Amino acid sequence: MIEFLLTKIPASPTYIIPEEVEEYGAFGMGSINLNNPNTDLYDSDLIQAEYTDADKIPVVISLTKDQHNQLLDLDFWKSDFSRLVVYPKPADLLFAE
């Protein structure tokens, strides 16, 4: 999914996608840390997408970077703050025009 999201960013620089990632356990919404220890150095969202989870709750997905222009995380935010049921496939994503 990260590779797919990066292809949707116009003139995107090359980002290194880590082989190992971990879910943020404290939030429980399925967000993923991209093996970047600089979580306090958030800079910006690279791209956002939306989809509807299996329980019919809307989800916003944000691929983010840190202040060193490195991938930071893939955030999943459900509108009711519940746990993510199913990770989406690229075909499930909607992008704002």
* Domain map (residue ranges) of the chain: 2-92
Partner residues linked to 65 by β-bridges: 44, 71
pTM: 0.86
HEC assignment per residue over 8-19: CCCCCCCCCCCC
SS3 96: coil
Tens-place pLDDT, residues 37-81: 777 788 999 999 999 999 999 999 999 999 998 999 999 999 898
* The predicted structure's pLDDT at residue 65: 93
